[in-house]
Chains A and B, each alone.
Chain A
Amino acid sequence: MHRTAAVRFTEGRGLLTLILAAAVLWSLFSVEWDRDLFQHGGLSFIAQVFAALFSLDLSSEFLRIVLGAAWTTVTYAVAGIILALAIGLPLGAIASGTMARSPVARFVSVAGVRLLLAFMRAIHELIWAWLFVVAIGLSPMAAVLALAIPYGGILGRIFAELLNDVPEQPLRALRSSGASEIQVFLYGRLPIAFADMLSYAFYRFECAIRSAAVFSFVGIAGLGFQIQLSLDELLYDQLWTLLIVLALLVIAVDLWSSLVRRSLTS
Chain B
Amino acid sequence: MRAMVNLAPELKQRRSRFRVVPVSVVVFIVLALTSWGTILLGDSGLLELFQPQTWRDAGEFAGRLLGLGVSGTPAFLDPASWSNALRLSIDTLAMSVLATAIAGLLALVTFLPGARNVAFGELRSGHPAVSIALFGALRVNFAFTRSVPELVWAMLIVFVVTPGILAGALALAVHNYGILAKLMAEVVENIDPRPARALRAAGANGPQMLLYGILPQVLPQFLTYLLYRWEVIIRTTVVVGLVAAGGLGLEFRLNMSFRHFDDVGLLLFVYLILVIGVDLASAGLRRLAR
Interface residues of A, Cβ cutoff 8 Å to B? 12-13, 15-16, 19-20, 23-24, 26-28, 30-32, 35-39, 42-43, 45-46, 49, 71, 74-76, 78-79, 82, 118-119, 122-124, 126-127, 130-131, 134-142, 144, 198, 202, 205, 210-211, 213-214, 217, 224, 227-228, 231, 243, 246-247, 249-251, 254, 256, 259-260, 262-264, 266
Contacts and interface: CB of A to CB of B under 8 A. Distances in A.
Interface residues of B, number: 73
B32 A124 contact: no
B272 A119 contact: yes
B272 A123 contact: yes
Contact of A118 (B21, B46, B276): B276
* B contact face: mostly helix, strand, loop, or mixed: helix
A224 B49 contact: no
Interface in B4-40: 10, 13-14, 16-17, 20-21, 24-25, 28, 31-32, 34-36, 38-39
B41 to A, nearest CB: 11
B68 to A, nearest CB: 15
Nearest to B43: A139
A149 to B, nearest CB: 13
A16 B155 contact: no
A13 B289 contact: yes
Contacts of A36: 162
B20 A31 contact: no
Interface of B: 10, 13-14, 16-17, 20-21, 24-25, 28, 31-32, 34-36, 38-39, 42-46, 48-49, 54, 57-58, 61-62, 90-91, 94-95, 97-98, 101, 143-144, 146-149, 151-152, 155-156, 158-162, 164-166, 169, 223, 235-236, 238-239, 242-243, 252, 256, 268, 271-272, 275-276, 285, 288-290
A82 B152 CA distance: 25
Contact of A45 (B34, B90, B159): B159
Contact of A134 (B17, B43, B61, B97): B61
B242 A217 contact: yes
* A contact face: mostly helix, strand, loop, or mixed: helix
A105 to B, nearest CB: 26
Contacts of A118: 276
B289 A27 contact: no
Contacts of B159: 39, 42, 45
A131 B155 CA distance: 21
Given A19-B285, A79-B32, A31 B165 contact: yes
Given A27-B95, A231-B155, A42 B161 contact: yes
Nearest to B275: A122
